[in-house]
Amino acid sequence: MAQIFHPSFNTLSRVSIFGAVFFLGAAVWGWDRLLRSPYNTQVNVAREQPVPFSHKHHVAGLGIDCRFCHTSVEESAFAGIPPTKTCMGCHSLVWKDAPMLEKIRESYRTDAPVEWVRVHDLPDFAYFDHSIHVSKGIGCTTCHGQVDEMPLTWRENTLNMDWCLSCHRDPEVFVRDRADVFSTEWRPDDVSAEERAELAERYHLESMTNCSVCHR
């Protein structure tokens, strides 16, 4: 009977035995890269919406404050998505016949909600509250990025637990004055390390890494 395996298989088998650890390592690394890729985290992926709402136009172009639409961000866990009436406050007269806005007008006529596509969605086992972050001097752009530069809205950060912890371990690095929380012009360099330490003291910031802070 002829040999089934060619002599070169001796080498191959040795390589694969000693190389197994590298193959496994590569597989784990590849899996990790996949989980952290925009394919999975949706970071920098602009979402299609039923109406192509542009934060860039409304925030940078018109200077409308975040809280004009996201009215509950200072008092509640949920920042709030505006009712169609908020859109119509201006668009009953401005761009009132634009085809792009037909779904808004239809929603206003029929009282059926516009079905916006959610951009930021935490897992249900993570508790999150906007109001406490805002009142402790953590600004919108720190987590949501420069929303004023987004024609369609995308997710700026992964919302993964290691990302949350990067601030929860040492919030002093990201704090700003409460007066600047809703500013889109504020940049991290605007505050010196001493000022940040002073703000952290004033707002009673501390490292919050106990599991039950978020998983309650």
Partner 1 sequence: MSARNRLGAALAGALLLTACRQDMHDQPRYEPLEASAFFADGRSSRPQVAGTVARGELRLDAHLYAGTVNGEPATEFPFEITMDVLERGRERYDIFCSACHDYVGNGEGIVVRRGLKQPPSFHIERLRDAPPGYFFDVITRGFGAMYDLSDKVPVEDRWAIIAYVRALQLSQNATMVEVPAGMRAMLESEAGQ
**Where do contacts with partner 1 occur on this chain (CB under 8 A)?**
62-65, 67-68, 71, 78, 80-81, 83, 85-86, 88-90, 92-95, 112-113, 115, 121, 123-125
Helix, strand, coil shares of the chain, percent, nearest 5, are 50, 0, 50
Q: How far is the CB of 173 from partner 1 (least distance, A)?
A: 27
Instruction: Determine the Cα–Cα distance for residues 14 and 170; give it in Å rounded to an integer.
Output: 48
Shorter beta-carbon distance to partner 1: residue 129 or 206:
129
Instruction: Determine the Cα–Cα distance for residues 66 and 148; give it in Å rounded to an integer.
Output: 10
Shorter beta-carbon distance to partner 1: residue 120 or 197:
120
Shorter beta-carbon distance to partner 1: residue 65 or 206:
65
Shorter beta-carbon distance to partner 1: residue 22 or 68:
68
Q: How far is the CB of 4 from partner 1 (least distance, A)?
A: 19
Take residue 105 and report the two structure tokens written for it: 């007008």
Instruction: Determine the Cα–Cα distance for residues 36 and 82; give it in Å rounded to an integer.
Output: 31
Q: How far is the CB of 11 from partner 1 (least distance, A)?
A: 25
Please report where in the chains the tokens 């516009």 appear, as a residue.
Answer: 114
Q: How far is the CB of 207 from partner 1 (least distance, A)?
A: 26
Q: How far is the CB of 195 from partner 1 (least distance, A)?
A: 22
Please answer whether residues 140 and 66 qualify as being in contact, where contact means their C-beta atoms are separated by less than 8 angstroms.
Answer: yes
Structure-derived torsion over alpha carbons of residues 80, 81, 84, 89, reported in degrees to the nearest 10? 70
Instruction: Determine the Cα–Cα distance for residues 43 and 115; give it in Å rounded to an integer.
Output: 21
Shorter beta-carbon distance to partner 1: residue 120 or 168:
120
